[in-house]
Structure 1
Amino acid sequence: MKLTHLFRGATALALFLCVMLTLYVLNVYVDIAVRTILSPGQYEEVVVERGIQVRRFASQLEDRGLVSAATHFTVAYISQYPSSSMQAGLYEINDTDTLLTLVNKIARGASLLEKITIIEGWQWKQVKQSLHAHQQFTISKDQQILEEINRDFKYTLRGGKALISLEGLLMPDTYKFKRGISDRSIVKTAVSQQVNTLMHEWESRDKTTNYATPYQALIVASLIERESGFPAEYSKIAAVILNRIRVNMPLQIDASVIYGMGRHQARLKHSDLKRDSAYNTYTRRGLPPTPIGMPSHAAIHAALHPFKFGALYYVLDGAHPYRHIFTTSFADHRAQKQVQKQRSKVHTNR
């Protein structure tokens, strides 16, 4: 009798444990594959850092209240992808996502793309600041990047001579990327785009421009970009620069002088114009040694397809900011400076 009661008790306990285990497994299954992480209308983003362990990430989800138990995410991931590490990136969680769909997103690397924009005329130091502001980048040294760029492009751009600066080499544009990549990857993409654009324009260039290398055209394009904010006149600015080079006149471009000074200055003093540097286009003739910023496609096109006229001077149009009045003689230039000065006063007082 005692054995019978004992057997019945053991059977009942076993049945109870089986039921409880079944309910637990069912609950875990529902939590992983059926129940959505968020309530309707909610949205969250999660970051998977490079090299993070599954259990550590699961704990982060639990701390944020996105999973009821960290072990559920761990079980889901390891059971589905036992030999795969998680893909670093920024991931979205929609109100229809379950733990299983999140696991699949992370395992496939279906992360959100982040963006960085390089503005026309930006200097390399500004690009670098923008890159470094994105903490998800792994940061490279300038020399590291430059060595790779030289290996790929020095023969194309300078006939084999080494590039000494990254200035001007990146195409202004918006670039999308996944979190966790190196800044070198973004830079190389932007450089490839700039070189492709430059070489495409180089093939159809006006042969009277007489550039020795595509890199010289890139330098001129950077000067154009900094001199004018009005793309419709870029080709005229290009013509003035090339006309001055032909007659051995100093370019006298303030933006180049400022670049050589290493700091932005709204107005140059007379002493600044006399302070010699490789970028002082008042004390030295010809082009500066490198571009002074990142030129746009429009500026590159203008540098290689200049307007056909003999102008050697330009002055800001007093009534239209960013536009210029072009003249051939210094006497006409001086006269226009006075005219535009008066127009500027009238325009300002309206």
Structure 2
Amino acid sequence: MKFLDQARVFIRSGAGGAGAVSFRREKFLEFGGPDGGDGGRGGDVWAEAVDGLNTLIDYRYQQHFHAKTGMHGMGRNRTGSKGADAVLKLPAGTQIFAEDNATLICDLTAKGQRFRLAKGGNGGFGNLHFTTATNRAPRRANPGQEGQEQTIWLRLKLIADAGLVGLPNAGKSTFLSVVTAARPKIADYPFTTLHPNLGVARAGGRECVLADIPGLIAGAHKGVGIGDRFLGHIERTNVLLHLVSAHNEDIAEAYQTVRGELAAYGHGLADKPELVALAQIDSVSEEESREKLVALAAACGKQVFALSAVTHNGLEPVMHAVFDTIETARREQQQAEERQAKKLPTEEI
């Protein structure tokens, strides 16, 4: 399945049905009076987060979604039926923006969450509504209200607990394929990964979702290489696992390049908890590996893990650190929400 994380869609809710002009006609009843029913409401346009989707590829081939018009009213005071709704089924993590692609309408972060994007028009009144003491036989009815229409942008930000970042060929895809059941494309040339990949890692009764994004190079925030358009997929993560390949001649420069791109992108990525690991240590000598570990620790100012996804060396300590960091972040978030819920509104005396 192809990956698509942004789509432009036109939506229109259904118009309301027209009211009916009708009069009661029965044998032996000379003046039956009006009995025109109201028109039905037009259908709404809804957005719904559903399970089993992780791309917006469906909206590449269909960009127009129209809800149905309400049925017209009928005689004998019969109200027209409501028009059918149009539902945009989206993966969790989809943000919906207005036509300017900047004004956020809603953010679907949980499966089952629904949001009404366009309300259907009301049905028109039948002639029964216009009966008065002086006008016993009105011959007018209202047309249905027009529906709403607008162009919206769908932007997907994957829901993941941890994000893998690094330069191209840093071993991110290999790491993902080893610790999860994901099968990303792996090759010995830059930019093998062209779109984000997700995988579920499990260890010791704990599990988390890992997101692997295409590698970053200097100037990515200006569009160099693949650019930074995929960094949005790790905005929701609790921790970043920064892999630096032992193949790099200048370890400090390789680390600072990626950190600089994260800071240039913004949106809080540079402030997220970060774990740093020297990857692909199986491809260099032990002495060179130790030297680069020291250099990387000096560049980042924190503990550095050493790992090899190919030989599975050092994977367990890294994954335990990832799980611990995620649990700490979740705990802090829960405590913040509880503190917010306990806050009472202050009253001025």
Does TM, scored on the shorter chain, surpass 0.5?
Answer: no
Shorter-chain TM-score bucket reads under 0.3
Task: Name whichever structure is richer in helix by fraction.
Answer: 1
Structure number with higher strand proportion? 2
TM-score by length of 2: 0.24
- Using the size of structure 1 for normalisation, the TM-score is 0.24
